[in-house]
Amino acid sequence: MSSDFSRPSDSLLALAAMHCTHGAAKLGSDALDAHLAALPEWSRAGERIEKTYRFGNYGETLGFVNALGWIANREDHHPDLTVSFNRCHVAWSTHDAGGVTLNDVVCAAKTDRLLA
């Protein structure tokens, strides 16, 4: 994997195999659009990317949230979550960078891979 954290990747698997780095820079609009093309159903919302996951029941939702929490702690990068009975809304942003960085895109890919 390349360590260039500004180069778009066209593969969800390639993104999910990467890891977060401290001090990641905010992505430009074109780079973010290229990365979002590899992330089905993720969208821009202001200075973050977000997606809502739906589940059959509360237990499945909590299982997802716990697994995502483990990944977030491992990557030392944490999403904003809104959890309800059968869905979880996930939003990634890097506050220190003032928007979306490659760390957010990598974590979005890792989030999708939880359900693969």
**Residue 116 has what pLDDT?**
84
The structural domains of the chain, ordered by start, are 27-113 (3.30.1360.20)
Q: What is the pLDDT of residues 29-54, one digit of tens each?
A: 999 999 999 999 999 999 999 999 99
Of 2, 42, 32, nearest to 97 by C-alpha is 32
Are residues 85 and 58 in contact, defined by beta-carbon separation less than 8 angstroms? Answer: yes
Q: What is the pLDDT of residues 68-115, one digit of tens each?
A: 999 999 999 999 999 999 999 999 999 999 999 999 999 999 999 999
**Residue 8 has what pLDDT?**
45
- Whether residue 6 is predicted with pLDDT greater than 90 in this model: the reply is no
**Residue 95 has what pLDDT?**
95
Of 4, 18, 28, 3, nearest to 108 by C-alpha is 18
Instruction: For residues 108 and 103, give the distance between their C-alpha atoms in angstroms, rounded to a whole number.
Output: 9
pTM above 0.85, yes or no: yes
DSSP state of 39: S
- Determine how many CB atoms are found less than 10 A away from the CB of residue 6: 13
Overall average pLDDT of the 50-71 stretch:
98
